[in-house]
Chain A
Amino acid sequence: MDRLIYLYGLAQTEEAASQPLPSLKGFDDAGDLYTVPIGKLTAIVCSLDAEEYAEDKIKDRVNNDMEWLQEKAFHHHETVMKLAKIYTLIPLKFCTLYKNEDSLKAAVGSNEGKMLDTFAFITGNEEWNVKIYCEDEQLKKEVSANIPTIEAKRAEISQLPRGKQFFEKKKLDKVIASELEKEKNKVSEHIHSRLSEFAVQGNVKRTWSSEVTGRQEEMTWNGVYLISKSKVEDFLNQIQQYEKDMKEKGWKFQASGPWPAYHFSSFS
């Protein structure tokens, strides 16, 4: 029976040898996690039935079986979180599978140099995620009040015949919407660059629509930051300060972490 190898993360062999792996259940909730030393790197893996976890079957479940995805996503997350508490860890993406131990060894071995650099980069640092949300309505009022041309245009429109007013108002709404986007980006970018001052590195991610987040407010910013452990509290205090100062204007901040360094372990 063929077995696939599910790779959760990589640790440094020296660290892995001094800290034994606790007993953790694998992705199929049957087997246990185990380690595969590959030179200076140690892969933390479990083995899976090749047929049950074939590529097309996994893709099908990810797309169609939400309960499965939820359960397995939490399993991956919790397992990697536990590992990251014990070792400095390069976390792998959900469902990273190898055909067999040899292909795993070949892949890890050929990337050893890059991975050792990554360990040097992430050691002593934590990954934090910051999502910024904004209630558009409130900011929209402010934006239109603050731009003199918009006020002037509004006054102008009110003098027009009624039929014309409708179309002119629509045009004006478009202008306001685009000004609103500009303002949101400007504010978010400013915050991002301030937060990046605390960080070793700050990256911008794509934002999600309110359909996905399930929130009323629009997500205006999604940033990830790699922060030295000693600076995390200052970083979070700064976010709390923004929260206090900008609450009235409809801005909301959501910080989460510390995450395993998913966003700072990429080799591509």
Chain B
Amino acid sequence: MSLKESIENKDIALIDILDVILDKGVAIKADLVISIAGVDLVYLDLRVLIASVESLVQAQQGNDKTISSVQFDKQREDLTHATGQPDKWKN
């Protein structure tokens, strides 16, 4: 496996996704209703930043399944455990 393939197949952390999709991108100003360009990552809750999923692997394998709620629940449990603040996750 080439170096590229091994990196491509790695899990990608949400922080890296947000770093890319929120921080920079094309801005077409004319008649644009919304662009959440100004969101500053610093203010994002730490909870979301610890999580990482196999989204790239899924994309690689052409697997159309998005992250299942089971996976989310599992991550949530892990995070709850990690932060020691179980109530934070309740709606």
Contacts of B36 in A (CB 8 A): 58-59, 62, 93-95
Contacts of B72 in A (CB 8 A): 67, 70-71
Contacts of A90 in B (CB 8 A): 26
Interface residues in B45-89 (C-beta closer than 8 Å to A): 45-51, 53, 55-56, 58-59, 66-67, 72
CB B81 to nearest CB in A, in angstroms, measures 14
A93-B21, A266-B26 known; A212-B49 Cβ under 8 A = yes
A81-B59, A98-B32 known; A214-B19 Cβ under 8 A = no
A73-B21, A93-B25 known; A208-B48 Cβ under 8 A = no
User: Which one of B7, B16, B35, B41 contacts A95 once the chains associate, using CB atoms below 8 Å?
Assistant: B35
A73-B14, A213-B49, A214-B46 known; A99-B21 Cβ under 8 A = no
A70 touches B21 (CB 8 A): no
Interface residues in B16-45 (C-beta closer than 8 Å to A): 16-37, 39, 41-45
B32 touches A208 (CB 8 A): no
> Chain A 94-125, CB within 8 Å of chain B: the 1/0 string?
11111100010011101100000000000000
CB A201 to nearest CB in B, in angstroms, measures 13
A110 touches B26 (CB 8 A): no
> Chain A 245-268, CB within 8 Å of chain B: the 1/0 string?
000000000011111001101111
Contacts of A265 in B (CB 8 A): 25-26
A76 touches B32 (CB 8 A): no
A78 touches B55 (CB 8 A): yes
Does A45 sit at the interface, judged by CB under 8 A? no
Contacts of A85 in B (CB 8 A): 59
A77 touches B45 (CB 8 A): no
Does A236 sit at the interface, judged by CB under 8 A? yes
State the total of A-B contacts with C-beta under 8 angstroms. 167
Does A226 sit at the interface, judged by CB under 8 A? no
CA distance A4 to B35 in the complex (A): 13
Q: Which of A90, A212, A258 has the most CB of B within 10 A?
A: A212
B34 touches A267 (CB 8 A): no
User: Which one of A63, A69, A81, A99 contacts B31 once the chains associate, using CB atoms below 8 Å?
Assistant: A99
- The residue of chain A having its C-beta at the shortest distance from the C-beta of B39 within the complex is A62
CB A109 to nearest CB in B, in angstroms, measures 10
A74 touches B34 (CB 8 A): no
Contacts of A58 in B (CB 8 A): 34, 36
Residues of A within 8 A of B (CB): 4, 25, 55, 58-59, 62-63, 66-67, 69-71, 73-78, 80-82, 85, 90-99, 103, 106-108, 110-111, 129, 131, 205-206, 208-209, 211-214, 222, 232-233, 236-237, 240, 255-259, 262-263, 265-268
Residues of B within 8 A of A (CB): 2-4, 7-8, 10, 12, 14-37, 39, 41-51, 53, 55-56, 58-59, 66-67, 72
What are the 7 closest A-B residue pairs judged by CB atoms, nearest first? A93-B25, A103-B31, A94-B21, A107-B30, A236-B3, A55-B34, A81-B59
With A106-B30, A107-B29, A236-B4 known, 12 other A-B pairs at CB within 8 A are: A58-B34, A74-B17, A77-B17, A77-B21, A77-B55, A78-B59, A91-B25, A93-B21, A98-B31, A211-B42, A256-B7, A265-B25
